[in-house]
Chain A
Amino acid sequence: MEGCPRNREIGPKLLDLIPQGRKWYQEDKNNTDQEKKLELRLGPPGGDEEDHSAIKKKNTEIRNIKKETEDKSFHCFNGNHFSPSNKTTSVPHISQKRTAPGPVVGWPPVRSFRKNLASTSSSKLGNESSHGGQINKSDDGEKQVETKKEGMFVKINMDGVPIGRKVDLNAYNSYEQLSFVVDKLFRGLLAAQRDISDGQGEEKPIIGLLDGKGEFTLTYEDNEGDKMLVGDVPWQMFVSSVKRLRVIKSSEISSALTFGCSKQEKMMH
């Protein structure tokens, strides 16, 4: 729209130049007129040398325009959104019509800007990933600390005593310490029960829990639900697999063993 009035304005100047020259000159002038038209589209009018330079400029500008169009099309292809692509297609046409050299000048900064944006986004992503890793590590550390502090409380019950106790296995390092603790926990309770049932007023120490020679024997349930005698495996392995402790009478153990023997005999027969 704006280009048309510019061409009309240029027309009268060309007509004024024609009557001044000769026929030969007129032919030359016609050529120059055409050249001038081209010049006017691209740049200001000038002499012969300027005309040649103008022609070269024309070629270079045409190439630049092609490159610009290619770049824009590539960019639109990259874009995932349709509506912004439509907007982008409309805008460059206006820019081309109005000012040809404008896009040429403004194009490089845009590319550098985009590159900077890409680099900043990549760096941000890296930072976020590192933060995530740190957070996870800290959480794991906290959990470990909490488990250590809280200890490992396990329920323990004793035959003849209706009330159970809880023992922190992380506070002890050996089976002997555990047997002493069991004695400490249940001696009083057991004595209270026996006061009524047996009529005895004395507190007897609970000894021989581990060797099977005492009145009571210490057993436990492991993580598979099996009942095991305490003392067969290393302490750490025991601590990692025990789920519950139970103090039972040694006589019951012997009866269980004999029952097992009788079963085996039946199988043989």
Chain B
Amino acid sequence: MNSFEPQSQDSLQRRFHQDNSTTQQPRDTTTPFIPKPASKNHNNSNSSSGAAGRSFQGFGLNVEDDLVSSVVPPVTVVLEGRSICQRISLDKHGSYQSLASALRQMFVDGADSTDDLDLSNAIPGHLIAYEDMENDLLLAGDLTWKDFVRVAKRIRILPVKGNTRQVKRNE
């Protein structure tokens, strides 16, 4: 998208220039000698305005990119059994491993930094699941990280065993 828009703008500017050239024809035909410098001035002004437009639009695009990145809201993290929730910004993490380490620091007291950390063992005895935009509960880790960041709206940490209550509720 970013690469496409400037090209379309260039094409629009070219069309604008052509329109000016077409309008200038009658002046040239009427007086071939005197108005030529005038037409040159018009060309110069057109080129300068085009350059200004390009720079301005480029700046605008940059702003839009920043807005897009800042629009991603932090995600609520709910640990089953606790009433107080926490929040985490997924855009500040680049992988599931980074997320796992953050969750471990959140919920495990005296957590040590282990190398083989993964979503499956980030919090012992618990599974890390998430709710998507359709409010479906899904296990984290199946999607790519980028897709997960785009889709996850809430993170739930559920115990592996002892789901009898939830099972009953579902039934």
Q: Which A positions have Cβ atoms within 8 angstroms of B? A: 72, 75-76, 78-79, 81, 84-85, 87-88, 91-92, 95, 106, 109-111, 113-114, 117-118, 120-121, 124-125, 128, 131-132, 135, 139, 150, 153, 155, 157, 160, 162-167, 189, 192-193, 195-197
Contacts and interface: CB of A to CB of B under 8 A. Distances in A.
Interface in B103-150: 127, 129, 136-139, 142-144, 147
B18 A192 contact: no
Given A84-B27, A113-B28, A162 B15 contact: no
Contacts of B83: none
A166 B138 contact: yes
Interface in B20-34: 21-23, 25-33
A157 to B, nearest CB: 8
From B11, B25, B162, name the one whose CB has the most chain A CB atoms within 10 angstroms.
B25
Nearest to B156: A163
Contact of A121 (B11, B22, B143, B144): B22
From A81, A125, A162, name the one whose CB has the most chain B CB atoms within 10 angstroms.
A162
29 contacts: A75-B30, A79-B26, A81-B23, A87-B27, A87-B30, A88-B26, A88-B27, A88-B29, A95-B31, A113-B32, A117-B22, A117-B25, A125-B18, A128-B15, A131-B7, A132-B11, A135-B8, A139-B4, A150-B147, A155-B136, A162-B167, A162-B170, A163-B127, A163-B137, A165-B142, A189-B139, A192-B161, A196-B162, A197-B164
